[in-house]
Structure 1
């Protein structure tokens, strides 16, 4: 991939950003732009392709750290809670990234139609991986972004181009990870079932044997495979989801901190406050005020 290709992608992405913001008119396609480095950003990554067009970012899952800068892409194969940080950005050269969601159904369809695809690929158990952006992806990404100026074509052409992007991923260094996304009986897909349950029921008491049954594994095998994929134990994973939900709830004005703790599954307010502070650097009450002030300032900016 040449520097001119990356510059073209960046220019198109920034044009769309100024016109539409993060939510582009393209289904399943998002943009992230920042004119300055950030502090820790907490969120949940879904199966997706994230291409950094300019600047650099670091994402952390459990004890693992992934750095990706211009010309690199991050592949996510599972829904995982992540702590990320934009480390290179300026007004002259803002951080810019293109995110394209990966539909496991499309992956499965392509694998069914072409069963030998990715057979020789190395299977990785990790939920995230960083690779150089393949030159084979540049053309479909450019065409996908170009559709933003042709809204009439989006319903017809966007799904075709996104399918092409997934096909290129299945034939690149990310093939092993993508195959795991599409195969119903793969380790990643089975761990994904347990992750889906935890996300939908994060306030409930966690039962590893129950999750192992959902994944069709013994408790010992499940625990090992879950940690290999997410770099967290199931309990750590649940805690991260709970605290991220608590932070979202604290954006609401007048919310009671203790009630937030109970709502996400904590029986002890002091334990909730202690673990919240450990994750976000401030107790929930103070952090909630800071979050609401930041949102208010942004809306009036």
Structure 2
């Protein structure tokens, strides 16, 4: 990691929204240096830097907010595409399997972003306060949305990153600033879905219980009747709310989790396709191969070979 000059802790008061974007970009660039990712000393905060557009990449987004200070990304949730950049943040309220890619980034102007994991107990504690007024939920809004960046949100993000320059302050101040960020999100139009998922008894909260069960038990057979019982809902009601939140059916959601887990096991642990197929819950290797090829664009072992060659090329260029 290379850094030049002093930490850019310029005063934030009175800055325009564009100046705040620049301030956040400068802070991220200074702390991350030449790395692509930095797991910071601040709990649940990660900084990201990319210097070129990327091919589509599968993954699972956990409840979090991603703020882009420079560049842009896109994420596909089911058949829905969301693009977020320096004018918008991405808010995810439940675990969601997605396909993402960097759209705008270069050596001269890299993508610079920060991701903050959201803790549901903090969300619920803030919702219990009368001063927090949340917009009504749109009935058809998914659990992943984009929202307009505000000066207040950017200012809080800058102050959170600034704590990396004074590690002794992190245990005392990071939680306060993260609570402020959650407050800003809840008070905006996009916070309604986050509130619904965090609120016990709400249909979204009940559906999230079924989603969490699949996430933790993706290798097990799934019966929609059992999921409906876990959620305390009727089968048709669960199906409706599941599709609204995830833009997928329960079986499609499970399939994506299985395939992503299989890819990771083959790439990282060196398992063969036949072994990993049964590990992630498939009863037929041929079915696993078909679904893997359809989702990732090529058969398992060829896909893993392509990924490893790409990793080798990146390491050689570094």
* Correspondence for 2:109: 93
TM-score where L is the length of structure 2: 0.90
- Does the residue aligned with 2:275 lie in a helix, a strand or coil? helix
- Does the residue aligned with 1:113 lie in a helix, a strand or coil? coil
**2: CA distance, partners of 1:256 / 1:19:** 35
1:95-147 deviations in Å (ceiling 9; x for gaps):
122111111111100111227621x4344541111111012212211110000
Change (3 A) 1:48 1:252: closer
* Correspondence for 2:199: 183
1:49-86 deviations in Å (ceiling 9; x for gaps):
11111111111111111111222101111111011111
* Correspondence for 2:149: 133
* Correspondence for 2:33: 18
**1: CA distance, partners of 2:77 / 2:181:** 25
Runs of 4+ in 1 over 6 A off after TM superposition: none
**Within 5 A, what are the aligned runs for 1:143-154?**
143-154=159-170
Alpha-carbon RMSD across the aligned residues, in angstroms, is 1.7
**Within 5 A, what are the aligned runs for 1:42-191?**
42-114=58-130, 117-118=133-134, 120-124=135-139, 125-191=141-207
1:270 to 270, 273, 286: 286
1:199-236 deviations in Å (ceiling 9; x for gaps):
11111111111111111110010011100110000000
Change (3 A) 1:187 1:252: same
How many residue pairs were aligned? 300
* Correspondence for 2:256: 240
Deviates more, 1:3-12 or 1:122-131: 122-131
**1: CA distance, partners of 2:301 / 2:40:** 34
Offset of residue 254 of structure 1: 4.1
1:222-251 deviations in Å (ceiling 9; x for gaps):
011100110000000000000000110011
**1: CA distance, partners of 2:307 / 2:158:** 36
8 Å contact from structure 1 (residues 107, 181) kept in 2: no
Give yes or no for the alignment of 1:32 onto 2:48: yes
- Does the residue aligned with 1:250 lie in a helix, a strand or coil? helix
* Correspondence for 2:245: 229
- Does the residue aligned with 2:267 lie in a helix, a strand or coil? coil
* Correspondence for 2:17: 2
Offset of residue 291 of structure 1: 2.3
* Correspondence for 1:292: 308
8 Å contact from structure 2 (residues 132, 183) kept in 1: no
TM-score where L is the length of structure 1: 0.94
Offset of residue 299 of structure 1: 4.8
Offset of residue 154 of structure 1: 0.5
Query: Gapped runs of 5+ residues in structure 2?
Result: 1-15
Offset of residue 32 of structure 1: 2.1
8 Å contact from structure 1 (residues 77, 181) kept in 2: yes
